[in-house]
Amino acid sequence: MTQTARIRRMVLEDHLCPSGLKAKALLERSGFTVDDQPFHTRVEVDAFKEEHDVKTTPQIWIEGERIGGYDALRKHLGKDTSGRPTYRPVIAIFVVAAALALVLSWSFYGSSLTLRAVEWFVSISMTLLAVQKLQDVERFSTMFLNYDLLARRYVPYAYIYPYAEGLAGVLMVGGVLWFVAAPLALFIGTIGAISVFKAVYVDKRELKCACVGGDKNVPLGFVSLTENLFMIGAGIWVLLKNLVLV
């Protein structure tokens, strides 16, 4: 049988509650028959809050039982993923970087399957990952100091790292100043790989990775190690390309 749900939410002339819209949509997607009872004035909202002793709307009932607001509804339906370890931020960056690399290669060379596409994928990934860190360098540095071996000995390195990664990535995207980009990527990538390997596989520590900034629940592990392996590979390739294969 179809379950029923009732929702009280704000649909005012000057404010349409986003959480109310999301709650109603979530209930409908979950197969509920929704009795939508919107408020149209602030007086109605205030009276409702006082009557039910709540501070916020929307408020949802399922089969007569009050669940609470939107966040409570997500938990009740098993949709709440906040606080859980996830690789989604890193995967999203790699997927977007791959798409950009393939499109650029097709645009410039008439084919997506080129060596330049691989180079662009790695360098664009580095650049996007650096942007995540640069949004809040202070928070990133705090998390980074949990495991990076060089940063623990020289704290300013934790602040330098995002800029160094971003610079190396941008230079590699453009294929310029290889003599700066390659050693830089090789250096920070090697230190990072050793640090992650020691923390995860030697010390068996369960930490969050700072690879996408300092506010995500990305576990420190193989995917985190991939960022550093990319930089090592890119650094070696650029050096070989310009010093040996020319």
Backbone CA torsion sign across 101, 104, 107, 108: negative
**In angstroms, rounded to a whole number, what is the distance separating the alpha carbons of residues 137 and 87?**
21
What CA–CA distance (Å, rounded) separates 14 from 161? 45
Q: CB within 8 A of 207, min separation 6: which ones?
A: 146, 147, 199, 200, 219, 220
pLDDT at 126: 93
Angstrom distance (rounded) from CA 75 to CA 72: 5
Tell me the residue type at 56.
T
pLDDT at 1 over 90: no
86 pLDDT higher than 90: no
Q: What percent of the chain has pLDDT over 70?
A: 96
Report the phi/psi class of residue 159: left, alpha or beta, with left for phi > 0 and alpha for psi in -120 to 50.
Answer: alpha
Q: What are the strands, taking DSSP E only, across the chain?
A: 4-10, 33-39, 59-62, 65-68
- pLDDT computed for residue 25 by the predictor: 94
State how far the alpha carbon of 84 is from the alpha carbons of 216, 217, 219, 221, in Å: 10, 7, 10, 15
Rounded Cα gap, residues 24 and 145, in angstroms: 43
- The predicted-structure confidence for 183-208, as pLDDT tens digits, reads as follows 999 999 999 999 999 998 898 888 77
Whole-angstrom Cα distance, residue 35 to residue 111?
54
pLDDT score of 216: 67
Residue with tokens 């790695």: 122
Can you give the pLDDT at residue 222?
77
pLDDT higher than 70, residue 215: no
Residue 213 has pLDDT above 80, yes or no: no
Pairing of strands 33-39, 65-68: unpaired
On the question of pLDDT at 217 being above 80, the answer is no
Of 200 and 170, which is predicted with more confidence? 170
pLDDT tens across 229-246, in order?
A: 989 999 999 999 888 865
Which one, of 72, 61, 71, 69, lies nearest residue 36 by Cα? 61
Angle 174-179-185 from CA coordinates, rounded to 5°: 75
What pLDDT score was predicted for residue 84? 72
pLDDT at residue 70 greater than cutoff 90: yes
Average pLDDT of the segment spanning 129-140: 91
Give mean pLDDT, residues 37-59: 92
What pLDDT, on the 0 to 100 scale, is given for residue 39?
Answer: 93
- Report pLDDT for 112: 87
The mean of the pLDDT values for the chain is: 90
How is residue 67 written in tokens?
């669940």
Alpha-carbon torsion angle 215, 218, 222, 224, nearest 10: -20
